[in-house]
Structure 1
Amino acid sequence: MSSKWMIIGISGVTCGGKTTLTQRLAQHFTDCVTMDQDQYFRLEEDPNHEWVDVSPGVRHQNWESMASMDWQAMTNAINDIIAKEPPKSSDYPALLIVDGFLIFNYKPISDVFYKKFFITIDKDECLRRRTERAYLPPDPNGYFESWVWPMYLKNRHLMNDCQNDVPIEYLDGSLDKDIIFETVLENINQLLSQQTKL
């Protein structure tokens, strides 16, 4: 791992606030690059998708599964970024902040993080937030109950098998967004300060 970059992972439940938090951090830190896992979803017609029966006569790609992602492309993109000279305006390492709901489930990516945050919300709040979003392709009726939430619980359990000695810090996504931001900001600032003393 490049000593010129500090890679931060922000994961968690769908609609938990990962991208909002990542964007706020990027606005705060001058030397910061962000990456969104959503940019590496496979195309709808990709034959590598897993298809699931949502209801009688309704089949849908399982966008919650590991197979929905082009992990090699995302890994290559991370490696391309940290191989380059980072933006530099301070003595601190530059930040690469990666957000995505499965990034701690793919070990080659999970292992690169200097710090890991995982945002949680309960099922009812998750459903409320998800129904306020527009997805392409849209969620079929029953997809949340049958696949989104059960896969979240499954992936969260399996995530533990992919971890190294960098612990995951869990964040309550129902808290005020400013509180979550300040908590993560303070944590990252401490890490950056420690790095400059090494």
Structure 2
Amino acid sequence: MRSRLVLYVSNMATTGSLENPFERKVDPSGHRKRWRIVGLSGISGGGKSTLAYSLLAALPTTVVYLGQDEYILPDDHPSHPKAAEEVGCVNKETIRSIDMKKMLADIYKILSSDPNTIAITDYSTLLERKKVIGCGLPEPRQPPYGCRQHSSFPAVLLVDGFLLYMNCEVSALCDLRYFFTLTKAECWSRRSKRKFTNSLSMSSPQYFESCVWPSYTEDFSRMSSSVTDVHLLDGTSSPSVVHERVLKDIFNVLEYTE
């Protein structure tokens, strides 16, 4: 029986270009000796953060987590596109609504850090982080969520985001790329049960129809045609099955040395 978990999207570089912008660039910082980067992207409510939480508990090395949701700009920020009038709020489902410059700066700061001494915050409250979504990051900011273990393995940076591969620089950095999928009906069923601290309109069916689902379908189409070596994960699969599959993949890249 064909696995529901993973399909490979590969060899998708378009012709007519001398350089594939998604190929990993030469790394002058040497972070490859210390870190492996795992991207978790895809549909809202698909299981990205749940998977990240389980990996933080299971991996036998230092693990640090960054979530793209935390970089969503505040409601009143002028970068947000306007949603349809009947939605009643701004559209936060576009790359314009995310402070990617700040997120990239934080990623590179982590990659330049010694995993044995990097400042991290206990990850036990990771799944309660909804209170920060759309608030903008506070200053000074607490260190990223993580778990430190001294190990002979490289450390792991988990990067979680609903539009993660929309930024080609983030995509190129990843050693492993995952993308969660759900049907429209299942996505709405899950999302309708979520609470959004700053905007009740984000829980509405109008926001889902006008903003969330169109953003996902556009991102999926672009990702499928432009980003190489993406593992598609069925968000309705058992979290334990997804966890075991991804954990095995990560062990493979931890054991690989250049």
**Are 1:145 and 2:175 counterparts?**
no
The aligned length equals 192
Aligned sequence identity (%): 32
Within-5 A mapping of 1:49-88 = 49-55=80-86, 58-87=87-116
The residue matched to 2:64 in structure 1 has which SS?
strand
Please, which of 41, 56, 62 is the counterpart of residue 26 of structure 1?
56
Please, which of 72, 79, 91 is the counterpart of residue 41 of structure 1?
72
Q: TM-score scaled to structure 2, two decimals?
A: 0.71
Tell me how far 1:159 sits from its aligned partner: 2.5
Letter in 2 for 1:96: L
Q: Which runs of 5+ in 2 are unaligned?
A: 1-26, 117-148
Letter in 1 for 2:72: F
2:43 aligned residue: 13
More strand by share: 1
Deviations 1:84-123 (A, max 9, x none): 1113622211000000111111112111101101111111
**Are 1:108 and 2:169 counterparts?**
yes
Q: TM-score scaled to structure 1, two decimals?
A: 0.91
Distance 1:109 1:44 in 2: 25
**Higher relative contact order structure (alpha carbons within 8 Å, sequence separation ≥ 6):** 2
| RMSD of aligned Cα (Å) | 1.5
The residue matched to 1:51 in structure 2 has which SS?
coil
Q: Which runs of 5+ in 1 are unaligned?
A: none
1:104–1:162 contact (8 Å) kept in structure 2: no
Structure 1 residues 54 and 120: alpha-carbon distance in aligned structure 2, compared to 1, 3 A threshold? farther
1:34–1:97 contact (8 Å) kept in structure 2: yes
Letter in 2 for 1:124: A
Deviations 1:115-174 (A, max 9, x none): 1011111111100100110013122441111221111101211234653xx510011111
